[in-house]
Amino acid sequence: MRLYREEHGDGPPLLLLTGLGYAIWSWQRQIPAWSESFRTIAVDNRGTGRSPKPPGPYSIEEMADDAAEALDGRRAHVAGFSMGGYIAQTLALRHPDLVEKLVLVCTATGGPNHLPTPAETISTWEAYADRTPPEFARASMPLSFAPGWTDEHPDEFEHLLADRLEHPTPPECWRAQYDACWRFIERVSPVEEIAAPTLVVHGDADRIVPYENGVELARRIPGARFERLARDGHLLFLESPDHFNTVVCSFLSD
């Protein structure tokens, strides 16, 4: 599938993959900084943003192949958060020739040590999944930040919410992505076979993907580096963009 994409800057290619229900706007605090050193290639996954929205079911494997197609044969660094991290892992396993370095942000992999999404988050998702995109986003999106962040930054939150709703994800497409995520974490992914140098970044206040999953992911990928962002939530790259951007650029430039 041909995904909607935006490319900026010059330098080594850097593919940016978003999470469940999120689109390119998510990377708004990274693209200006990273495009000074890299050719950023940001894509909307199938079902979100300005990409095609076919009926489900979807799979992480399909979305990884979509991402591979977006590279047009270019070998690239790949960064993905949350579901985008599932896609990035799968891309590195299915298309290792396309992946130079891997950055996995607030994500996980399947297996017996996987900790599930907290019940509070799941219940909110389930209660609002079939509502309108504005109702769903306003109810669920605060959980993607560290506790208290939206109260301390109300104007920022409203700005980000408006960006999300400019090209909203239809409920049926969100559900198709959601189901793909569950199928992914229900099985053991062979991340031990990932050959690309890997950085795993996780916030210890993540209420979507528990922090321990990032620790476990880094443990299983050979030679992976791990970076903990204290007191940051699932969308840590929006909460602490300067720190996050520096950590990632340092790894990719090393």
- Residue 172 pLDDT more than 90? yes
> What is the model's pTM?
0.98
Q: Give the pLDDT confidence of 185-217 residue by residue, as tens digits.
A: 999 999 999 999 999 999 999 999 999 999 999
Q: Give the pLDDT confidence of 67-112 residue by residue, as tens digits.
A: 999 999 999 999 999 999 999 999 999 999 999 999 999 999 998 8
Residue 111 confidence (pLDDT): 86
Report the DSSP beta bridge partners of residue 229: 203
Amino acid at 220: R
Distance CA 74, CA 51 (A): 20
Q: Give the pLDDT confidence of 24-57 residue by residue, as tens digits.
A: 999 999 999 999 999 999 999 999 999 999 999 9
- Residue 140 pLDDT more than 90? yes
Distance CA 30, CA 235 (A): 12
Residue 239 confidence (pLDDT): 98
- Residue 158 pLDDT more than 90? yes
Residue 6 confidence (pLDDT): 99
Residue 125 banded pLDDT, cuts 50, 70, 90: very high
pLDDT mean over 106-135: 96
Residue 112 confidence (pLDDT): 87
Residue 142 confidence (pLDDT): 98
Domain map (residue ranges) of the chain: 5-253
Residue 130 banded pLDDT, cuts 50, 70, 90: very high
- Pick the more confident residue, 13 or 111: 13
Say which CATH topology domain 5-253 has: Rossmann fold (3.40.50)
